[in-house]
Amino acid sequence: MVVTEKKLIEVQPLGGFDQPLTYSTEEDQFKKIQVGSLVQIPLGKRKVIGIVWSFEGKSFKEPTLIRKILAIIQQAPVLTADLMKLASWISNYYSCSIESCIEAMIPASIREGMKPKSRRLIYLAANYQELLVGLKKAPAQTRVVSFLKKENRPTFISKVLESTKTTSATINSLLQKGVISEKKEIVERVAYEDEFLDSAEQVDQSIKLTDEQNIAVEEICRDLDTYKFKTRLLSGVTGSGKTEVYFEAMQQALNQKGSVLFLVPEVALAPQTVSRLRARFDSEKVVVWHSHLSAGERVDAWRSLINQEAKIVVGARSAIFAPLQHLRLIIVDEEHESSYKQEDTPRYHARDVAVVRAKMTSAVCVLGSATPSLESINNVEKGKYGLSRLSKRVDNRELPLVHLVDMRREADKTKNLPILSQQLVEALRDRIANREQSILFLNRRGFNTTMLCPDCGHVEQCKDCSIALTYHRTDGYLRCHLCGFRKPAPKSCNECKSFDLKKKGHGTQRIEDLVASLLPKRAQIRRVDADIMTKKNLFRETLSDFRKGKIDVLVGTQMIAKGLDFPKVTLVGVVDADLPLRMEDFRASERAFQMLVQVSGRAGRGNRAGEVFIQTYAPHSPSIQFARKCDLKGFLEEELEMRKEFNYPPYRHLIRHLFRGRSEAKVEYYTSEWAKLLEKQNLQDLTVKGPAPAPLEKIKGFYRYHFFYFTSSVSTALKQLKEIRAQFPLDPELHDILDVDAQQIS
Ligand code: ADP
Ligand code: ZN
Ligand code: ZN
């Protein structure tokens, strides 16, 4: 009898266990598997699928008790080694299960073992002539044979059937006789193949880089040439040509036989980027990776990356998990966008994961923005990130002229809160007359419950947290959603004593109708908002129509503020600039500033100068003033000072702890118990704020209360919190969840 040696391996089960487990394999099995292979394993009484996690199986059990893997399902790894390391990191840092990370990494269609789509090809067998006897009586079969002879290579069955006007019965009969043979070939589905060709024309191949662009390119290439991990912030004003810099850097990474990951903040921006990339790197295969791909497209994209056929991936947040091999460069465009943070488990931030993945693969990460996040600025100041700057628009194009429209005066005129100012309407009419394009920008819907004084623009704030207080209709109180502070809502403005406190907000639909009624009939007006985004192609089509000049005025929410490059737009109107400022979030000023600079940046990108109108009730607020002058430095200085004073991010990490349940009494009771328990602890490096009702206090019948923890070390904070939480018996009807580096605090 041959005694085969047993090897121990670690396998991460998919389905129900959140830690890799040790299994044994036979020697010959062991030789076949790789880290990342799929295997079938016993788990309790079930048989489940697992991913081979490492060859370092450790066991505290008797060797005889270690269970054997049942079968190898797929030898080829389903995840690259760095992604597996990344899954472990994410599960630790964001306090979620490894399995939820794997689910985010491997598309469901792959997990379910979906095979790539293949098509049948037929060709003449080598000895076909010997077998031809008797075919004379079968003219259809003869036609097929002569057709294949002429083609002289394997041909798709569909083509043969069509060209020879035969049926599949004829083919089958020839196959049976052995006259022809068949093979299968995998067909590729290429997403976005022919789309946006209209926008490709604007890619000018003969672009000569500006001096600033050249310097930035040199700096990134130098980073790449060290073959060491490096993160660099590319801070460049809108229209400064950051994309050209990315492209040059990508060229260098490709020259190094490496691959490139290009992240954009919004799925809808992928086609624009893809068409520019395809025009520039025409010999390279560009893979699009995002959540709107069909299952088939996804499988193909996945396979071409695993096979290393494709070296460029473009996509939104989840593309950070594309299984690229030999990763050399990760670009995160518009790195400040909060859409990079996933608001579901696993609650990862794709920008931060990009930096970690780059580190794990000794790659270079470039974070680009006209309005960098305070987190990234802080990392530059600490020396963790390098910095490259583009301070001018290309061709010395002017930054747009920004007018502030003081809506308090407009309110005087009409005794109502007006939606569009006279100035903005005039400017719109002007553009229609000159056949130029305009964008009207509306803020995302706020929670609409803060109180604004239309006479002086004052908004009541919490003294301790420096965020807007929220009005609660039920009890008539103003509340702080960070610390829970509350006081009765004032009857008149605390600042100017006006009695006319109003709440305001307008939908995109209403604005669209209003604009239509104010402009000449022939003006083409279109709306882009969340409703439209849900229809797969409508948004892309709208953008394409706008680019072609079929639309005069585009009305929309924040999605039209991001990264779009429309050279014919000469007017941008911001309908309500104050909304972000009134939000119950300490990032309100940062969001307002970023939004205003970004939207303004959509104007005047072509040869004609742009004009921007910002309608505001708070023309003197710092973020609006700094945005008007596009003064990034001034804004950063002021905002960082505030953050430092309150010890907010980026100076400390923010962990949000959300409790929810159907019974408000229970949620209130358990959160106050949790607060008491925390108070008794000797917490290290952990400041607790709360409990407070969340700004969206009730969603789908669930009441929501939250805590905010501020800490300089996520891992020590989580360690303490988890230990205490383990001793806290929460009512089974309640759920709680931790959101590390929370962005949205609604
Ligand atoms: P950003 O992302 O910095 O806002 P883009 O990369 O979209 O700017 O560039 C804005 C426009 O300027 C694009 O149409 C681009 O083709 C063009 N462009 C970029 N670099 C140059 C250059 N060196 N010379 C002329 N045009 C350029
Ligand atoms: Zn007032
Ligand atoms: Zn407060």
pLDDT digit string (tens) for 579-600? 666 666 888 889 889 988 988 8
- Domain annotation covers residue 745: no
Per-residue pLDDT band for 534 (boundaries 50, 70, 90) equals: low
User: How far, in Å, CA of 332 to CA of 372, rounded?
Assistant: 11
Per-residue pLDDT band for 471 (boundaries 50, 70, 90) equals: confident
423 shares a domain with 381: no
DSSP per residue, 194-259: STTHHHHTT--TT----HHHHHHHHHHHHHHHTTS-EEEEEEE-TTS-HHHHHHHHHHHHHHTT-E
Mean pLDDT across the stretch 624-642? Answer: 93
Q: How does pLDDT run across 112-170, given as a tens digit for each residue?
A: 664 445 678 999 988 888 877 766 678 888 899 999 999 888 898 888 998 898 888 99
Could you tell me the residue range of the domain that residue 17 belongs to? 5-111
Q: How far is the CA of 609 from the centre of ligand 1 (A)?
A: 15
427 shares a domain with 363: no
The lowest-confidence range among 202-211, 332-341, 538-547 is: 202-211
Locus of tokens 């624009």: 272
532 shares a domain with 387: no
From the alpha carbon of 390, which atom of ligand 1 is closest? 3
The lowest-confidence range among 463-477, 633-647, 664-678 is: 463-477
For residue 603, the ligand closest to its alpha carbon is 1
Q: Whose CA is nearest to atom 20 of ligand 1?
A: 241
User: How far, in Å, CA of 746 to CA of 447, rounded?
Assistant: 9
203 shares a domain with 59: no
**Domain end: 186, 216, 238, which one?**
186
From the alpha carbon of 213, which atom of ligand 1 is closest? 23
For residue 496, the ligand closest to its alpha carbon is 2
Average pLDDT, the chain: 85
User: For position 19, which CATH number holds?
Assistant: 3.40.1440.60
pLDDT of residue 415: 54
Nearest to 11 by CA among 64, 61, 67, 95: 67
For residue 482, give the 3-state DSSP assignment.
Answer: coil
Token pair, residue 373, equals 């996040």
Q: How far is the CA of 643 from the centre of ligand 3 (A)?
A: 14
Q: Whose CA is nearest to atom 19 of ligand 1?
A: 241
pLDDT of residue 187: 61
- Count, residues in the chain: 746
Q: Is the pLDDT of residue 601 over 90?
A: no
pLDDT of residue 200: 42
Decide: 621 and 440 in contact? Cβ < 8 Å. no
Q: Whose CA is nearest to atom 17 of ligand 1?
A: 241
Q: How far is the CA of 499 from the centre of ligand 2 (A)?
A: 8
- Domain annotation covers residue 461: no
Choose which residue among 244, 280, 337, 391 to substitute to test ligand 1 binding: the one with the highest number of ligand atoms within 8 A of its C-beta.
244
Q: Is the pLDDT of residue 218 over 80?
A: yes
Q: Whose CA is nearest to atom 5 of ligand 1?
A: 241
Task: State percent of the chain over pLDDT 70.
Answer: 87
pLDDT of residue 193: 47
From the alpha carbon of 204, which atom of ligand 1 is closest? 16
Name every residue whose Cβ is closer than 8 Å to that of residue 141 and which is 6 or more positions away in sequence: 135, 166, 170, 173, 174, 179
Nearest to 327 by CA among 357, 299, 367, 368: 357
- Domain annotation covers residue 673: yes
Token pair, residue 123, equals 């060709």
Q: What letter does residue 262 receive in the DSSP assignment?
A: E
From the alpha carbon of 243, which atom of ligand 1 is closest? 6
584 shares a domain with 515: yes
Q: How far is the CA of 326 from the centre of ligand 2 (A)?
A: 59
pLDDT of residue 625: 93
pLDDT of residue 29: 83
Q: How far is the CA of 417 from the centre of ligand 2 (A)?
A: 14
User: How far, in Å, CA of 106 to CA of 78, rounded?
Assistant: 8
For residue 396, give the 3-state DSSP assignment.
Answer: helix
Query: Side chain identity at 153, as an amino acid letter?
Result: R
For residue 211, the ligand closest to its alpha carbon is 1
Decide: 363 and 326 in contact? Cβ < 8 Å. no
User: How far, in Å, CA of 465 to CA of 470, rounded?
Assistant: 13
Dihedral angle sign, alpha carbons of residues 255, 256, 258, 263: negative
Name every residue whose Cβ is closer than 8 Å to that of residue 62 and which is 6 or more positions away in sequence: none
User: For position 716, which CATH number holds?
Assistant: 3.30.70.600
User: How far, in Å, CA of 370 to CA of 597, rounded?
Assistant: 8
User: How far, in Å, CA of 95 to CA of 117, rounded?
Assistant: 37
User: How far, in Å, CA of 181 to CA of 605, rounded?
Assistant: 58
Q: How far is the CA of 286 from the centre of ligand 1 (A)?
A: 21
Per-residue pLDDT band for 407 (boundaries 50, 70, 90) equals: confident
Token pair, residue 351, equals 């920008």
- Domain annotation covers residue 22: yes
The lowest-confidence range among 145-159, 305-319, 507-521 is: 507-521
363 shares a domain with 419: no
Q: How many domains does the chain have?
A: 5
Q: Whose CA is nearest to atom 10 of ligand 1?
A: 239
Q: Is the pLDDT of residue 9 over 80?
A: yes
Q: How far is the CA of 72 from the centre of ligand 1 (A)?
A: 51
623 shares a domain with 588: yes
Structural Rg of the chain based on CA atoms: 30
Q: Whose CA is nearest to atom 16 of ligand 1?
A: 203
Query: Side chain identity at 272, as an amino acid letter?
Result: Q
User: How far, in Å, CA of 548 to CA of 338, rounded?
Assistant: 30
Q: Whose CA is nearest to atom 12 of ligand 1?
A: 241
The sheet with strand 155-156 has its strands ordered as 155-156, 118-124, 180-186
- Domain annotation covers residue 383: yes
259 shares a domain with 151: no
241 shares a domain with 175: no
Q: What letter does residue 331 receive in the DSSP assignment?
A: E
Q: How far is the CA of 470 from the centre of ligand 3 (A)?
A: 11
Q: How far is the CA of 244 from the centre of ligand 1 (A)?
A: 6
The lowest-confidence range among 162-166, 284-288, 495-499 is: 495-499
Phi and psi, residue 736, nearest 5°? -135, 150
Q: What letter does residue 515 receive in the DSSP assignment?
A: H
From the alpha carbon of 209, which atom of ligand 1 is closest? 23
Higher pLDDT, 721 or 494: 721
pLDDT of residue 114: 43
Q: How does pLDDT run across 27-48, given as a tens digit for each residue?
A: 888 888 888 888 888 988 888 8
Mean pLDDT across the stretch 719-742? Answer: 95
Protein residues with CB under 6 Å of any ligand 1 atom:
204, 207-210, 213, 236, 238-244, 394-395, 565, 605
Mean pLDDT across the stretch 312-334? Answer: 95
Mean pLDDT across the stretch 100-116? Answer: 72
Higher pLDDT, 331 or 408: 331
For residue 464, the ligand closest to its alpha carbon is 3
658 shares a domain with 735: yes
Choose which residue among 213, 233, 234, 243 to substitute to test ligand 1 binding: the one with the highest number of ligand atoms within 8 A of its C-beta.
243
Higher pLDDT, 135 or 49: 49
Choose which residue among 201, 202, 207, 233 to substitute to test ligand 1 binding: the one with the highest number of ligand atoms within 8 A of its C-beta.
207
- Domain annotation covers residue 441: yes
Name every residue whose Cβ is closer than 8 Å to that of residue 201 and which is 6 or more positions away in sequence: none
Mean pLDDT across the stretch 393-417? Answer: 77
692 shares a domain with 721: yes
Q: How far is the CA of 643 from the centre of ligand 1 (A)?
A: 34
Choose which residue among 366, 395, 565 to substitute to test ligand 1 binding: the one with the highest number of ligand atoms within 8 A of its C-beta.
565
3-state helix, strand, coil in the chain (%, to 5): 35, 25, 40
The sheet with strand 386-390 has its strands ordered as 286-289, 312-315, 259-263, 327-333, 364-369, 230-236, 386-390
Decide: 643 and 650 in contact? Cβ < 8 Å. yes
Q: Is the pLDDT of residue 497 over 60?
A: yes
Residue 149 burial (10 A CB sphere; 0-12, 13-18, 19+): exposed
Higher pLDDT, 203 or 545: 545
Helix (H) or strand (E) holding 471: strand 470-472
Mean pLDDT across the stretch 74-87? Answer: 86
User: How far, in Å, CA of 456 to CA of 497, rounded?
Assistant: 9
- Domain annotation covers residue 463: no
Higher pLDDT, 166 or 676: 676
Q: Whose CA is nearest to atom 23 of ligand 1?
A: 209
Q: Whose CA is nearest to atom 18 of ligand 1?
A: 241
694 shares a domain with 616: no
**Domain end: 159, 186, 213, which one?**
186
The lowest-confidence range among 202-206, 223-227, 721-725 is: 202-206
What are the CA-CA distances from residue 253 to residues 201, 314, 364 (Å)? Answer: 25, 15, 9
pLDDT of residue 189: 55
Q: Which residues surround ligand 3, an ion (CB under 5 A)?
A: 462, 464-465, 480, 482-483, 485
The lowest-confidence range among 58-72, 169-183, 269-283 is: 58-72
pLDDT of residue 117: 58
**Domain end: 395, 420, 436, which one?**
395
- Domain annotation covers residue 532: yes
Q: How far is the CA of 313 from the centre of ligand 1 (A)?
A: 21
